[in-house]
């Protein structure tokens, strides 16, 4: 498989090395159930080559609409994609960013092995076609798969709970020992979803970014979100404008951004403040 593909439980595997999120899969007697995709096209093609040696790929679920989770969908043509209902418009909105000339140029610099695969006619966009609202329960090869809407990091944020394995894929509702991205999040929904994840009592969490962890980490994840909310709330209460808040950039997160994303860290802090500031203003009015 990949450089750091690891067995998580009897039938669950995930990859922690590639640029982007941590994609994974459940291997059953009736084929493979995929969770998310590699971001870089060449990695997605290699992942598919590996998975096809494991068994027929039956389904793919996207846990969220950010490019590092969905950009690989195209390289799994014919595989049914499952998504929370809010995923579909967001996927369609992202297609130009995933297939456009700007993306190709970016890859020519960053990852030339991938650039030829952008907008390749053999790999058209592959949006979610099987949509659900709150929860979708499937059985594959005798394994129960619960696909659950846990809004937070993004509005359609989704977890994949595999009770027979004791494993949950939380997507980016958990950033384990790497910087937490709160640029689109409703932080209060996110905290509720962390409680819902804890209540399922998984033995192992595969986070969207970072190494596998246990529910012991969820309290720290909640604290990181709360610290951002508290910092921005403090500024709003002191009459600091959004513009000034951006300049102050409170460094509340104890963890650094992943090395490959290092150049965007300052911009991310600005986007987090631009997301939280108006939400907090609204909430203080209520």
Write down the pLDDT at residue 1.
43
Residue 268 lies in a domain: no
Please give the average pLDDT of every successive group of 10 residues along the chain, which has 286 residues: 79 93 98 97 95 97 96 97 98 93 92 93 96 99 99 98 99 97 97 99 98 98 97 96 89 82 84 97 94
Q: How many Cβ atoms from other residues are within 10 Å of residue 112's Cβ? A: 10
Residue 275 lies in a domain: no
Write down the pLDDT at residue 3.
54
Cα(283)–Cα(263) distance, integer angstroms = 32
Count structural domains, the chain: 1
Residue 127 lies in a domain: yes
Partners of 206 in the beta sheet?
Answer: 169
Q: Which residues contact 49 (CB under 8 A, 6 or more apart)?
A: none
Residue 191 lies in a domain: yes
Determine whether 14 is exposed, middle or buried from the number of CB atoms within 10 Å of its CB (0-12, 13-18, 19+).
Answer: buried
Pairing of strands 57-61, 80-84: parallel
Cβ distance 197 to 219 under 8 Å? no
Residue 11 Cα distances to 14, 35, 143, 163, 231, angstroms: 10, 13, 10, 12, 42
Residue 162 lies in a domain: yes
Residue 209 lies in a domain: yes
pLDDT tens digit string along 63-121?
999 999 999 999 999 999 999 999 999 999 999 999 999 999 999 998 999 999 999 99
Residues 224-240 as b or e (16 or more Cβ within 10 Å = b): bbebbbebbbebbeeeb
pLDDT tens digit string along 70-84?
999 999 999 999 999
Tell me the pTM: 0.96
Write down the pLDDT at residue 110.
87
Domain harbouring 194, CATH code = 3.60.15.10
Q: Which domain holds residue 215?
A: 5-223
């Amino acid at each position: 498989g990949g450089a750091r593909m690891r067995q998580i439980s009897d039938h669950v595997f995930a990859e922690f090395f590639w640029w982007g999120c941590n994609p994974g899969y459940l291997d059953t007697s009736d084929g493979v159930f995929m969770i998310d995709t590699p971001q870089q096209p060449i990695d997605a093609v290699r992942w598919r080559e590996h998975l096809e040696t494991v068994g027929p790929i039956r389904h793919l679920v996207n846990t969220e609409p950010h490019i590092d989770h969905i950009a690989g969908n195209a390289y799994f043509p014919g595989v049914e994609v499952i998504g929370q209902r809010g995923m579909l418009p967001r996927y369609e909105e992202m297609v130009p960013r995933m297939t456009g000339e700007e993306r190709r140029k970016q890859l020519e610099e960053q990852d030339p092995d991938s650039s030829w695969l952008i907008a390749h006619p053999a790999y058209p966009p592959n949006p979610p076609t099987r949509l659900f609202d709150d929860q979708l329960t499937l059985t594959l090869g005798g394994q129960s798969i619960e696909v659950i809407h846990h809004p937070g990091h993004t509005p359609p944020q989704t977890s994949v709970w595999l009770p027979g394995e004791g494993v949950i894929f939380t997507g980016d509702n958990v950033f384990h020992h790497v910087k937490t991205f709160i640029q689109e999040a409703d932080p209060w929904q996110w905290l509720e979803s962390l409680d819902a994840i804890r209540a399922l009592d998984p033995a192992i969490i595969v986070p969207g970014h970072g190494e596998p962890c246990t529910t012991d980490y969820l309290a720290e994840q909640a604290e990181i979100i709360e610290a951002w909310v508290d910092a921005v709330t403090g500024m709003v209460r002191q009459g600091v404008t959004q513009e000034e808040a951006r300049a102050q950039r409170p460094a509340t997160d104890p963890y650094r951004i992943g090395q490959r994303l290092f150049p965007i860290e300052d911009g991310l802090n600005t986007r987090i403040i631009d997301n939280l500031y108006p939400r907090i203003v609204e909430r203080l009015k209520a």
